[in-house]
Chain A
Amino acid sequence: MAEAQDFTLKIRRFDPESGEQAHWQDFGVELDPDRSVLDGILQVKDREDASLAIRCSCRAAICGSCGVRINGKSALACNTRLSDAKQTASNGAITVEPMGNMPVIKDLIVDMDAVHWKKIQRVVPWLLPEGEPPEREYIVPAEAMIDVTQSMACIQCGVCVSACLSLEVDPEFIGPAALAKAYRFVGDPRDDHTEERLRDLAEDPHGIYDCTHCFACIEVCPKDVAPMSQIMRLRRRATADFGIKDSNNGYGHEKGFVDIIEKWGTLHEAQLLPRSFGQGSAIRGQVEPDAVKQLLRDMPTALRGLRAGKITPKKALMHPKLPGQKNVRRIFEEVEGKKERLELNLYIVGDDGDQAEGAQAEGSGES
Chain B
Amino acid sequence: MPHHDVLVIGAGLAGQRAALSAAEQGANVGIISKVHPVRSHSNAAQGGINAALDPEDSWESHAFDTVKGSDYLGDQDAIEIMCREAPDELLELEHLGVTFHRDETGHLGKRAFGGASAARTYYVADITGQAILHVLYEQLMKHDVVHRYEEWFTTALVQDEEGKVSGAVTRNIRDGSMELFAAKSVILATGGNGQVFNPTTNALVCTGDAIAMAYRIGAPLMDMEMIQYHPTTLAGLGLLITEGARGEGAHLYNADGERFMEKYAPNKMELASRDVVSRAEQTEINEGRGFPDGTVALDITVVPRKRIHEALREILNVGRDFAGVDITKEPIHIKPGNHYAMGGVKSDTDGLTSIPGLYAVGECACVSVHGGNRLGANSLLDTLIFGRRAGAHAGKRSKGSPMPQPSRASLDDEEARIRAIFDRERSGRRVSEIKAELGATMDEKCSVYRDEEGLREALEVVTRLRQEAKVATVDDRGTIFNQDLLGALELQFMIDNAETILVSAIERKESRGAQYRTDFPDRNDDDWLKHITVQPNGDGEAPEIEYSEVTMTQWEPEERTY
Please report A residues at the B interface, Cβ cutoff 8 Å.
1, 15-17, 34, 45-47, 49-51, 53, 55-65, 79, 81, 105-107, 109, 112-113, 120-121, 125-127, 129, 133-134, 136-142, 144-146, 148-149, 152-153, 155-156, 184, 188, 190, 346-352, 356
Contacts and interface: CB of A to CB of B under 8 A. Distances in A.
B430 A46 contact: yes
Nearest to A60: B239
Interface stretch (B314-322, B387-395, B520-528): B314-322
B99 interface: yes
B29 interface: no
Nearest to B140: A126
Given A106-B481, A155-B130, A349-B309, A57 B141 contact: no
B99 A152 contact: yes
Given A16-B480, A50-B474, A106-B481, 14 more contacts: A47-B430, A50-B430, A57-B204, A62-B44, A62-B130, A62-B314, A125-B141, A136-B107, A142-B101, A152-B130, A152-B131, A153-B130, A351-B304, A356-B309
Contacts of B224: none
B476 A50 contact: yes
In this complex, which of A81, A127, A155 has the most chain B Cβ atoms within 10 angstroms of its Cβ? A127
Contacts of A356: 309
Contact of A139 (B107, B432, B482): B107
Contacts of A17: 478-480
B237 interface: yes
A127 B138 contact: yes
Contacts of A15: 478
In this complex, which of A51, A56, A57 has the most chain B Cβ atoms within 10 angstroms of its Cβ? A57
25 contacts: A34-B324, A45-B483, A51-B484, A56-B204, A57-B203, A57-B204, A57-B205, A59-B203, A60-B318, A62-B314, A63-B38, A105-B174, A121-B141, A127-B138, A133-B91, A141-B102, A142-B101, A142-B104, A145-B99, A145-B124, A146-B125, A152-B130, A348-B309, A351-B306, A352-B306
Given A17-B478, A51-B478, A142 B103 contact: yes
Nearest to A120: B141
Contacts of B108: 137
B313 interface: yes
A152 B481 contact: no
A53 B124 contact: no
Given A51-B476, A53-B481, A148-B99, A45 B432 contact: yes
B426 to A, nearest CB: 11
A64 B38 CA distance: 8
Contact of B38 (A50, A144, A156, A188): A156
Contacts of B328: 350
A56 B178 CA distance: 23
A347 B309 contact: yes
B410 interface: no
Contacts of B308: 350
A47 B105 CA distance: 56
A60 B320 CA distance: 12
Contacts of B91: 133, 136-137
B321 A57 contact: no
B263 interface: no
B100 A145 contact: yes
Contacts of A49: 475
B329 to A, nearest CB: 13
A103 to B, nearest CB: 12
A188 B304 CA distance: 27
Given A64-B39, A156-B38, A46 B432 contact: yes
A142 B91 CA distance: 17
Contacts of A60: 44, 237, 239, 318, 322
A224 B96 CA distance: 25
Contact of B127 (A16, A152, A184): A152
Nearest to B90: A137
Interface of B: 35-36, 38-41, 43-44, 91, 94-97, 99-109, 124-125, 127, 130-131, 134-135, 138-139, 141-142, 150, 174, 203-205, 236-237, 239, 293, 304-310, 313-314, 317-318, 321-322, 324, 328, 430-433, 436, 474-476, 478-484, 487
A340 to B, nearest CB: 17
Contacts of B239: 59-60
Contacts of A1: 236, 293
Nearest to B328: A350
Contact of B97 (A81, A146, A190): A190
A350 B481 contact: no
B102 A50 contact: no
A81 B130 CA distance: 24
B541 to A, nearest CB: 32
A17 B175 CA distance: 10
A61 B104 contact: no
Nearest to B35: A57
Given A50-B476, A57-B41, A138 B310 contact: no
A118 B123 CA distance: 29
A63 B150 CA distance: 15
Contacts of A136: 91, 107
A125 B39 contact: no
A142 B104 CA distance: 6
A326 to B, nearest CB: 27
Nearest to A65: B39
Given A50-B484, A106-B481, A139 B205 contact: no
Contact of B106 (A46, A56, A133, A139): A139
Nearest to A63: B39
Nearest first, the 7 closest Cβ-Cβ pairs linking A and B are A350-B309, A127-B97, A51-B476, A46-B432, A351-B306, A133-B95, A50-B484
Contacts of A62: 43-44, 130, 314
Nearest to B317: A61
B306 A348 contact: yes
B483 to A, nearest CB: 6
Nearest to A185: B97
Contacts of B480: 16-17, 105-106
A147 to B, nearest CB: 9
Nearest to A184: B99
